[in-house]
Chains A and B, each alone.
Chain A
Amino acid sequence: MIDAIYAHLPILLIVLPLVAAPCCVLVGNGRAAYLLALVVSFLTFACSIVLLGEALDHDVIRYELGNWSPPYGIEYRVDIFSGFVMAFVSGIGAIVLVYAPLSVRDEIPASKHYLFYATYLLCMTGLLGMCVTGDLFNVFVFLEISSLSSYALISLGRTRRAPLAAFQYLILGSIGATFILIGIGLLYQMTGTLNMADIAARVPHEHGPRTVLVAFAFLTVGLCVKMAVFPLHTWLPNAYTYAPSVVTCFIAATATKVSVYAFVRIIFGIITPGFAFDVLPLDTELMLFSLVGIFIASTAAIYQDNVKRLLAYSSVAQIGYMLLGISMATPTGLSGGIVHMFNHALIKGGLFMVAGCFALRLGSVQLSDWKGAGRTMPFTALAWAIGGLALIGVPLTAGFISKWLLLTSAFETGRWPIAVLMLLSSLLAVVYVWRVVETLFFSEPSEAAANATEAPLRMLVPTYVLIGATLLFGVWTPYSAGIARQAAIALLGGTP
């Protein structure tokens, strides 16, 4: 029995939330749906942890869907990289659910609660599916599952701007998805297969037909939209700002990271870094857009009064750091990019949770309404300070680890100007983080803040789990930077 479950873990990871989602709808009761979603999310988390452990022990786990052998059938593949991303996506998904009920009750009408949890599970299914599958078309399918459900989740926001933000995201997201689909179609036309490993073996790189180049271009641009790379990020600030707090926590921590995952898979698995970075100047372009994006988005973050929007712009900037690491294509740089996916998921998830706590108690995410809230909600405010320090990249926080890896890699490859720019850009983070800290601790309390009480424990504990994790993974890195390094070495093909 146990063995049978073991053998089917890769598919269980998808089936569990996928089946639980309609069950939530059938139950039709917010509370029951919540319990179901909670149990399922922890089960998937357990599954992905076991899978990651297996991948670390025995290299790649292959699973043939319906016993159809690839390339005819769909193959699920779990290696260290996908296991790592799956683990943190499902882990954060579970923790956010623990945090969710009070915030959901506050922000979403009770009649829609069961639908909310169903959609949440669907979104998780899509994200995990993108990680687990080894089939390119399947990636697209799961991408659409996660995207469509996130449009729905975002539109649940309290204000009337939420549906508009979701619509904006829908338009841009669909354009991105269409680009990806065109890219996949062209690759299929050239190779006659959809299995990623198979495509990689067959695709003619150099001196190949122009079709391949066009396919790569479509895939890159499409994924850049989903990753919210500057200047294709325009959907993100509104979507993060107007979505319900819980949705923002989950999507900000996971959705863009999974798109980055897919991008890395395609670059290192199909296009190959040699072709993308040596023959094509993709690395220079990525670095350029990343750096410009980091500076512009960080500067924009400084001027926001809406804290969720501030964090959203910061997310756009942080994606830039991940891409910087990826485009360096060295073991250190790539592992820096990968570990930053994880670290940033913890940090941003934690910070959005803090924003959710304030939203619950103060009824607003405008910075002007947060004035002096540090006096009445000291623990929530302290969580912001710690998370903010991690975002800046201060030592003993997770943000420092990723920043350090990216810096050393920039120096290793002789790109010291990038190191300088990266460090200067973190100064912008100091400004936008500290603006909030000063408002929380030093301003005269606003009326709402003066009457507020500390956030409920049911929200504070999950928040501190993530914030505590940023501290833990800032000093103890075998399971963050260590795994990321193994993943990077595997992606770059063999021994370091």
Chain B
Amino acid sequence: MSPDHMIWISLALPLLAVGLIAFFGKTPDLRDGASGTIAGLLFIVTASLSIGVFSGERPELHLGEMLPGFEIAFRVEPLGMLFALVASGLWILTTAYAVGYMRGHHELHQTRFFACFAIAIFAALAAAFSANLFTLFVAYEVMTISTYPLVTHHGTEEAKRGGRIYLGILLSTSIAFFMLAIVWTWSLAGTLDFKLGGILSDAVAEDRISQTGLGVLIGLFAFGIGKAALMPFHRWLPAAMVAPTPVSALLHAVAVVKVGVFSVMKVCVYIFGLELLRETGVSLYLAYVAGFTLVVASLVAMTKDNLKARLAYSTIGQLAYITLGAMLATPNSVIGGGMHIAMHAVGKITLFFCAGAIYVAAHKKNISDMEGLGRKMPFTFAAFLIASVSIIGLPPGGGAWSKWFLAVGTVETHQYLLTAALMVSSLLNIAYLVPIPIRAFMKPKSGSPDEPVQETGGWFANLQEAPALCVVPLCVTAIGSVALFFAAEWIYQALLPITMMPS
């Protein structure tokens, strides 16, 4: 099987899953089994595809022209490959987790839920493999639309309001800014293909666009890609938290938001070209917007008592790290940003899994109610602690490496203010994440302190964990976030080609 075929298969598999899920809608066991099996197959396909891609192959697939000159085409490069691996790998765990969560919660409309989920994964893969901006844009919008029914899953007034903000911001930024930027790019470059070194250098050399124009253009991209959640277009992410937790976990910590920052990186690397960005410095102001976002988002996160809301603001902050890396446009910062896509994904999905597990087992949403819960749910809170360490950027969490490279990037470009912002934000990360598991373990259960502790049997008898289908995935991802610390060299080597100049 050639790599070109594998692109085809990896795009077809999620769609096949949609069909099977709809077909087996009446028999939940078959439906969820099909969903899980396909997720497994998908990961095998992307993994085998990645072997070739990381050793230098660039498989391509041309589906055909939607309009003359605007083609739906796929070309796999390291950044997209990494993203596809993360998304498809975590899809397996999320499917298992979602089955446990949705059934544990007796949610309605599960068939629609799993079908839309698979469409979103399809869109994530299509975006990851896209060979040009046009394809990327189409995939981006498919993702927006397919996740709307997931966000509004409960059909309540609150869900309606959340969905309105979600769709409103994502759709309007993409139509008003992103699409405009794409058409503008096309009129400047005559092509929309992703090319190492960028496609705009000719237009700049021939003086068809001024420095200011270039700055506006990259601004249109950065804000138009609303899924990157750069302030002030970040409100959709907290709004999306009305969705069931598996959605928040995979989509609003991994697939959707990562499509955003991934698109930003692709635009910086393959449309503008790092060289051009460094020489002109037009993207630097966006690095400061990102710096502002990551500090403010961390501050807001501290004020949130609702666990999912806190995690949402934490995500906004962490996404800004990646945007920051892309906008600094040095090899180290870009590799740091790319790495953070993987590191943050694994860490944050763990945190969301934990939030969901706590909700399923103890029906608690607010952090202030979770004190002392660690003794009943030791696995969940241990996983929470480990993942927090990774998000904060402390060894042995994977996040340590990505944040290191980002910090190196800020120093290389002599933007010491941004270095400071990164450090402050890391401290804030500690402040809003670590106390949660610590208090869960250390503080006694709220209530009267005189009440005798009812210790019957061993500690094992006191466990009140969520169903195994919820707990096992979150333990796996927690271990994964540590394992990534030791895999950093490998990711570094894989991403190195995207920072090279075209030969």
Give the B-binding residues of A (Cβ under 8 A). 389, 392-396, 401, 404-405, 407-408, 411-412, 416, 419-420, 423-424, 426-427, 430, 434, 438, 441-442, 475-477, 481-482, 485
Contacts and interface: CB of A to CB of B under 8 A. Distances in A.
A423 B187 contact: no
B180 A404 contact: no
A394 B123 CA distance: 14
Contacts, number: 71
Contacts of B168: 430, 434
Given A401-B67, A430-B168, A430-B172, A442 B152 contact: yes
A482 to B, nearest CB: 8
B180 A419 contact: yes
Given A423-B176, A442-B159, A396 B187 contact: no
Nearest to A404: B67
Contacts of A434: 164, 167-168
A442 B138 contact: no
A411 B186 contact: yes
Given A475-B66, A477-B67, A395 B141 contact: yes
Interface in B164-202: 164, 167-168, 171-172, 175-176, 179-180, 183-184, 186-187
Instruction: Give the most central of B67, B163, B168, B171: most A CB within 10 Å.
Output: B67
A449 to B, nearest CB: 14
Contact of A481 (B67, B138, B176, B179): B67
Nearest to B188: A411
Contacts of B157: 442
26 contacts: A392-B175, A394-B171, A395-B138, A396-B141, A401-B66, A401-B67, A407-B179, A408-B183, A408-B186, A408-B187, A411-B183, A411-B186, A411-B187, A423-B180, A430-B168, A434-B164, A438-B160, A438-B163, A442-B152, A442-B157, A442-B159, A442-B160, A476-B66, A481-B67, A481-B68, A485-B68
B142 A404 contact: no
Contacts of B176: 423-424, 427
B137 A395 contact: yes
Nearest to B139: A395
Nearest to A375: B155
A340 B162 CA distance: 33
B164 A396 contact: no
The secondary-structure label for the interface of chain A is helix
Contacts of A423: 175-176, 179-180
Contact of B66 (A392, A412, A477, A485): A477
Nearest to B138: A395
A328 to B, nearest CB: 14
A389 B145 contact: yes
Interface string B218-245: 0000000000000000000000000000
Contacts of A426: 175
A336 B353 CA distance: 48
Nearest to A416: B184
B359 interface: no
B338 to A, nearest CB: 26
Given A408-B187, A442-B156, A481-B68, 11 more contacts: A393-B175, A394-B145, A401-B66, A407-B180, A407-B183, A408-B183, A416-B184, A423-B176, A430-B172, A438-B163, A482-B68
A389 B141 CA distance: 11
A255 to B, nearest CB: 28
B70 interface: yes
A411 B184 contact: yes
Contacts of A420: 180
B124 to A, nearest CB: 15
A412 B187 contact: yes
Contacts of A408: 183, 186-187
Give the top 9 A-B pairs by smallest Cβ distance, nearest first: A411-B187, A442-B160, A395-B138, A395-B141, A407-B183, A427-B172, A423-B176, A411-B183, A426-B175
A404 B183 CA distance: 8
B77 to A, nearest CB: 22
Interface in B57-87: 66-68, 70
A170 B392 CA distance: 72
Contacts of A394: 141, 145, 171
